[in-house]
Structure 1
């Protein structure tokens, strides 16, 4: 993973995509991360920003669950499942 992927801690779109990849609800993410559901809801809905430490906590939760954050030059940030490999037909990238 390149430095650019680490620079992008978490965006609302990446948060929604990571939840989708894991098939998690906002409540499941809240339970796994100890971040309130209302904070997650407001962040994903772009109602307000999030402290860097809270975003890092959510990202760690996603990574612990098998989400890999990446950045592709010319395309920007993205994510994929650690359970998949690029040669696997079930490889999912968002």
Structure 2
């Protein structure tokens, strides 16, 4: 039986990178995602994983700012989808 490919690309490193790109602290991400700062700290510090619903809340906070998490040929990444054109 063939196992499905895990396309989950949300990792502690990408969470930190996304925060860094936006200039957000863990407190700012906690406020924007309604996820506790201690959960974010523990996830980014590799102390524990996330429930799917918690991951969705964090991703939505980043996606609302125009960031997208990608997985191209098995290489997770981050891209910005906003335009500075006015």
TM-score interval for Structure 1 and Structure 2 normalised by the shorter chain? 0.7 to 0.9
Shift >2 Å, 4+ stretches? none
Pairs aligned (count): 79
- Cα displacement (A) at 1:39: 0.4
In terms of Rg, which structure is larger?
2
- Give the aligned CA root-mean-square deviation in angstroms: 1.8
TM-score (norm 1): 0.75
Gaps of 5+ in 1: 85-94
CA shift in 2, pair 1:60/1:54, >3 Å = same
Gaps of 5+ in 2: none
TM-score (norm 2): 0.82
